[in-house]
């Protein structure tokens, strides 16, 4: 009987050690943004207004956490309606045909640094990506628990079929090919 009890305790502890904690994005305190070169000499910034993310963490420090993210391409906003409509068109995101940008991957701690590794899908093109992540920590407030992150990285829009391009007199591109991704994320423990 003692062996059965010991086995039960070990199985219970093993189950709780691998228990997952679910986290949801706090949209009022998060921003999914980007920046891209404009006319070679400056940058244009924008963000997505309609998005969702879920994180499932096995450890308190989020090492190995599963991350899923989607953004609605029609929700792109750059503070210029004409430009936003152009970005939603077939020359860029083709929001009607490809309504979502998707990411699925894992948050990995390497030394003191975090990396978000996974697959990013735009216009039905999926490519592996790696983003740098700064983990701000967790805090308990207002009867809930929150976690904060800043994510940065680069993608080449041409790789995903966002091919519209035009050159200016001097030979540079109107819109750069390399897009900086800058996301500030606050999560709520589910």
Instruction: Read off the pLDDT of residues 83-122 as tens digits, 9 standing for 90 and up.
Output: 999 999 999 999 999 999 999 999 999 988 999 999 999 9
Of all residues in the chain, what percent carry a pLDDT higher than 90? 72
CB of 16 closer than 8 Å to CB of 40:
no
Report the alpha-carbon distance of residue 68 to residue 113 in Å, rounded: 20
Residues of 7-38 as b/e, b for ≥16 C-beta within 10 angstroms?
eeeeeeeeeeeeeebebebbeeebebbbbbbe
Query: How far lies 113's CA from each of 23, 33, 151, in Å?
Result: 21, 21, 12
Geometric angle at alpha carbon 55, from 19 and 26, rounded to 5°: 125
CATH code assigned to 19-189: 2.40.128.110
Neighbours of 91 (CB within 10 A): 12
At 6, phi and psi to the nearest 5?
Answer: -65, -45
Region 50-77 average pLDDT: 97
The region of weakest confidence among 47-56, 89-98, 171-180 is 171-180
């Amino acid at each position: 009987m003692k062996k059965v009890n010991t086995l039960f305790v070990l199985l219970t502890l093993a189950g709780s050690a691998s228990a997952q904690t679910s986290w949801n994005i706090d949209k009022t305190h998060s921003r999914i943004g980007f920046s891209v070169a404009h006319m070679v000499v400056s940058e244009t910034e924008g963000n997505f207004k309609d998005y969702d993310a879920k994180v499932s963490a096995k450890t308190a420090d989020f090492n190995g956490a599963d991350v899923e993210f989607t953004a609605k391409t029609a929700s792109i906003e750059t503070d210029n309606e004409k430009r936003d409509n152009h970005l939603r068109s077939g020359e860029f995101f083709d929001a009607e045909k490809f309504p979502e940008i998707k990411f699925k991957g894992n948050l990995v701690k390497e030394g003191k640094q975090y990396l978000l590794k996974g697959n990013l899908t735009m216009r039905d093109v999926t490519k592996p990506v790696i983003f740098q992540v700064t983990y701000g920590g967790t805090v308990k407030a207002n009867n809930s628990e929150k976690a904060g992150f800043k994510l940065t990285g680069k993608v080449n829009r041409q790789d995903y079929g966002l091919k519209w391009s035009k050159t200016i007199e001097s030979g540079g591109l109107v819109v750069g090919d390399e897009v900086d991704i800058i996301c500030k994320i606050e999560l709520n423990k589910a």
